[in-house]
């Protein structure tokens, strides 16, 4: 699943560490989600979307078939 | 490897306690059973303690998985334990048949949990090498 995490983070001038601290997760988790290596659970996806004051669909993009 | 959180700290403290009891009980069993000839119920009790400490290793790794709050790190621990189980059980299976047909020497059963722990190290190294820990502080 693709996501706009890196762009959203850059727009706010946040480092991966800043985002990890805000979400109370590890930096490797942020890196794994950002690079698409790991798809977060629904609760974590909601938490990320809430942090950016967006909907999940605005942060995470459906893979095209 | 990754950032050390509360669950990982508890794991290391428990591991230190278990390893201390393991080494102490092993020393006592060697001394009292092998050298001093203790037999019967005390010998059974004494000889069981190192094995129970091996069982505690599985318990404390399970606790690490349960208590880890970071879902991605938890996934890595689960994958590591799957690699460890596959590695140790596969080795035990192959070794067992080779031993049955007397093609190889007898290996005491307590080596298989040791192989499981080695499998954890292999699993950790695999995840490190394939970039699963990318982004972690060195």
ipTM entry = 0.90
Q: B53-57: long-range contacts at Cβ-Cβ below 8 A with a sequence spacing of 24 or more?
A: B53/B18, B53/B19, B53/B21, B53/B22, B53/B25, B54/B22, B54/B110, B54/B113, B56/B14, B56/B18, B57/B15, B57/B18, B57/B113, B57/B117
* Nearest residue on chain A to B70, alpha-carbon basis: A25
Substitution target from A6, A19, A32, A48 for chain B, most B beta carbons within 10 A: A32
**Given CB atoms, is B131 within the 8 Å cutoff of chain A?**
yes
Cα–Cα dist B30/B4, whole Å = 36
**What does the pLDDT look like over A4-60, one tens digit per residue?**
999 999 999 999 999 999 999 999 999 999 999 999 999 999 999 999 999 999 999
**In this structure, how many other beta carbons lie within 10 angstroms of the beta carbon of residue B59?**
12
| Of the partner residues A27, A37, A38, the one whose CB lies closest to the CB of residue B136 | A27
What is the mean predicted confidence (pLDDT) over B40-51?
94
Does the model's pTM come out above 0.90? no
Q: B45-49: long-range contacts at Cβ-Cβ below 8 A with a sequence spacing of 24 or more?
A: B49/B21, B49/B25
Structure token pair of residue B122:
């292999």
pLDDT of residue B133 exceeding 90, the answer is no
pLDDT, position B138: 47
Substitution target from B5, B8, B70, B75 for chain A, most A beta carbons within 10 A: B70
Instruction: Say if the Cβ atoms of A32 and B132 lie within 8 Å.
Output: yes
Bridge partners of A3?
A60
CB of B10 closer than 8 Å to CB of B68 = no
pLDDT of residue B41 exceeding 90, the answer is yes
N residues, chain A: 65
Provide the number of CB pairs (under 8 Å) joining chain A to chain B.
48
**What does the pLDDT look like over B72-88, one tens digit per residue?**
999 999 999 999 999 99
A26 contact partners, CB below 8 Å, separation of at least 6: A20, B2, B3, B5, B70, B72, B73, B135, B136
What is the mean predicted confidence (pLDDT) over B33-62?
94
């Amino acid at each position: 699943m693709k996501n706009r995490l890196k762009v959203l983070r850059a727009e706010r001038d946040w480092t991966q560490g800043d985002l990890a601290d805000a979400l109370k997760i590890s930096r490797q988790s942020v890196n794994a989600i950002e690079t698409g290596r790991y798809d977060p659970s629904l609760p974590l996806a909601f938490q990320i979307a809430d942090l950016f004051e967006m909907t999940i669909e605005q942060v995470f993009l459906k893979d095209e078939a | 490897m990754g950032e050390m959180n509360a669950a990982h700290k508890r794991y290391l403290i428990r591991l230190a306690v278990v390893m201390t009891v393991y080494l102490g009980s092993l020393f006592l069993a060697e001394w009292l059973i092998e050298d001093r000839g203790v037999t019967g119920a005390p010998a059974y009790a004494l000889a069981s303690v190192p094995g129970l400490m091996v069982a505690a290793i599985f318990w404390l790794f399970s606790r690490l998985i349960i208590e880890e709050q970071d879902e991605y790190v938890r996934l890595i621990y689960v994958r590591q334990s799957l690699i460890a189980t596959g590695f140790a059980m596969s080795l035990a299976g192959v070794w067992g048949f080779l031993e049955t047909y007397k093609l190889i020497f007898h290996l005491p059963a307590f080596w298989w949990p040791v192989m499981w722990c080695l499998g954890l190290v292999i699993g950790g190294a695999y995840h490190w090498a394939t970039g699963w820990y990318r982004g972690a502080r060195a």
